[in-house]
A and B are shown apart, each in its own frame.
Chain A
């Protein structure tokens, strides 16, 4: 069973890591937009 759970956990770790990467990009972009608006 440990291999089964490891595979399922790995799947969601990969997807959640990618989503976190997208969120980080979005926050950085939002900050850039705020900076542009302030100029």
Chain B
């Protein structure tokens, strides 16, 4: 079943991302005030939604780890944080590229941009902690850090509703008004990025399992060697 699902998901991802790219560059209508540069939205916003979703899964997996000490939950937390950081990096890179021609500046320290940068820094520190700490308590410390990190996600999301910011107000839901075709293109790209994130998380999960198996075997071998030496 799993062997069949992976290639199917791969094909679906390729189709959705190719169609999404075509629609983003050619199919979607051109926005009147910003022109073609507004098409960055079709990569910028879906990447942000994907990152938020992955950090949300990371939060749930971290809570499950704290309650049950489940190794599976710990690996899911690690994987979603890593892939979430990749998508958050895309947001932080495409945002300034969009801002430069529209606002005339690459960056401004307003709450939306700053809280997103803080979110990225929190999850980068989470990954650094997981990578370089050799303590047996690392998964526990990482789970606690992830819970603090997740508190920043609603702040990033709602900051444009509660504060006056340079960042545009929401165009989807609430008082926002977006052309239905633009919304459709954004959702196609989001579906493509979600499938892509699933594929990457899946591969990373299996890699982590393999890594842990090798580490366990090496540790066991070292123990046997030391006993033989005695």
Residues of B within 8 A of A (CB): 21, 25, 36-37, 39-40, 43-44, 47, 83, 86, 89-90, 93-94, 97-98, 100-101, 196, 200, 203-204, 207, 210-211, 214, 217-218, 221
Contact = CB atoms under 8 A, between A and B. Distances in A.
A6 B97 contact: yes
Given A3-B101, A36-B214, A15 B86 contact: yes
Contact of A26 (B21, B98, B207): B207
Nearest to A10: B93
Contacts, number: 65
Contact of B40 (A4, A25, A26, A33): A4
27 contacts: A1-B36, A1-B37, A3-B37, A3-B100, A3-B101, A4-B37, A4-B39, A7-B40, A7-B94, A8-B25, A8-B40, A10-B93, A10-B94, A11-B43, A11-B90, A11-B93, A14-B93, A15-B196, A18-B86, A19-B200, A22-B200, A25-B207, A32-B214, A32-B218, A33-B214, A36-B214, A36-B221
Contacts of A8: 21, 25, 40, 43
Counting chain B CB atoms within 10 Å of each CB, which of A8, A11, A22, A33 scores highest? A11
A interface majority secondary structure: helix
A23 B39 CA distance: 31
B81 to A, nearest CB: 13
Given A4-B25, A7-B94, 19 more contacts: A3-B37, A3-B100, A4-B36, A4-B37, A7-B43, A8-B25, A10-B90, A10-B94, A11-B93, A11-B94, A14-B86, A22-B204, A22-B207, A25-B207, A29-B210, A32-B214, A36-B217, A36-B218, A36-B221
B126 to A, nearest CB: 16
A32 B204 CA distance: 17
Nearest to B225: A39
Counting chain B CB atoms within 10 Å of each CB, which of A4, A6, A18 scores highest? A4
B100 A14 contact: no
B221 A7 contact: no
B196 A3 contact: no
Contacts of B204: 22
Contacts of B86: 14-15, 18
Given A6-B97, A7-B97, A14 B218 contact: no
B158 to A, nearest CB: 25
A37 B86 CA distance: 34
